[in-house]
Structure 1
């Protein structure tokens, strides 16, 4: 794995890995935690509207391996084939350097935060499978937020007015891209080169300050049995 791609083969998977697969021609990715032989725990919800976690099997004919895929909302356990839904397999990277993070232009693939132990990651994943992970939100509480929380034990503190956003790299990328696009739009055409540099700089800074390994508005998740 590296700056270009995090793609891996199934035989290289390890328990507790944060994995993902791209959907809709790389427009969006679906994330989960690999827990054991061929099984993935992941968070689904509104993302199915844009094709992120559509099950491969209809409700009246569930997967013979992981029938839970017939239940399309919340935290579920699926076989890896249903999780990938025909896509390629990628592994999320933890504890990357700032230079690596910025060089990795596409968000939702790595974080500066460190992963905790395999035992802790697996324990959280199964805990959320039993207890749930709240209400799904594309920008604030999505599948990547779930996987990041399982791996780090951290979650963004919600504000009184419901703001604060999630910790996912994808959400940060969308916001950063919007800010960078606006900057490019208002910049004079005569300063195209300068505008390009400033636009990418804005995009990179926005992604960086929203990474869960950097931001301060996070707290440790307490698992209450």
Structure 2
């Protein structure tokens, strides 16, 4: 388990199937991927300048998932990157883009999760075995992961699905991204709650706001929320090939993992 203060690790500490990330834009946002060994990473990208597609300066400011396009191609992975967006393979150096290496932690305790004030670093959800994770990553490398969306289907969503097989069912909520869940929780704690008016002291306001922020992050985590389903990667790709609508609009089916990235239906009581 990575420490509470920092998730930074050395390259020798990661293994195939690990969920890794690197901070971008002065720690504003992070880019996530799945390490597959031999200093190579599979990750979900969007072309530079098109992260949110607003046509404003924000498109240039948020470049968390795009790869560097200036200079000569990387000698190790340049021949693999025949596109600058979608699910791609690149070397670890290109993935890090000059940043440090961090490990995303799974199956953490509630106390540990709440101690990590910054979202997008850990989850209460358990990871599937490494071979299942790599199978999903390789399958989607060949078949895609749908349309990139900063708020619904981003690089962190991609990595978390690779590790857990879980997808958010409801179409009105954000995806599995802990980073966006933290932003939503922070906004709700500061701007939307009448509880912040129950105290007049600065200390009391800080306690109420931080408490609401922590609760908001916790209930949004993929490991505790109820609007998630486990979807085998083959069924996910088949659905996208028939219908480009988000997977969250599929008919609900609760299921167990079958140990191979598959799904065993569970009847409701």
2 CA distance for matches of 1:156 and 1:73? 23
User: Aligned pair in 2 of structure 1 residues 166, 117: CA closer, same or farther (>3 Å)?
Assistant: same
Determine the structure 1 residue equivalent to 2:43.
42
**Displacement of 1:94:** 0.3
Q: Provide, for residues 124-161 of structure 1, a one-character-per-residue CA deviation record: whole Å limited to 9, x for no partner.
A: 001111111111111111100000000001111143xx
Q: Provide, for residues 34-83 of structure 1, a one-character-per-residue CA deviation record: whole Å limited to 9, x for no partner.
A: 0011100000114484121332343x832221124462211110000000
2 CA distance for matches of 1:183 and 1:192? 18
Query: Per the alignment, in what secondary structure is the counterpart of residue 118 of structure 2?
Result: coil
8 Å CA contact 1:114, 1:152 repeated in 2: yes
Of 170, 180, 188, which residue of structure 2 is paired with 1:179? 188
Determine the structure 2 residue equivalent to 1:30.
31
The question of 1:4 aligning with 2:16 is answered no
TM-align CA RMSD: 2.0
Rg larger in structure: 2
5+ residue gaps, structure 1: none
Determine the structure 1 residue equivalent to 2:136.
124
Aligned residue pairs, count: 221
Determine the structure 2 residue equivalent to 1:210.
220
8 Å CA contact 1:183, 1:199 repeated in 2: no
The question of 1:65 aligning with 2:79 is answered no
Q: TM-score, normalised by structure 2?
A: 0.77
8 Å CA contact 1:55, 1:72 repeated in 2: yes
2 CA distance for matches of 1:81 and 1:111? 26
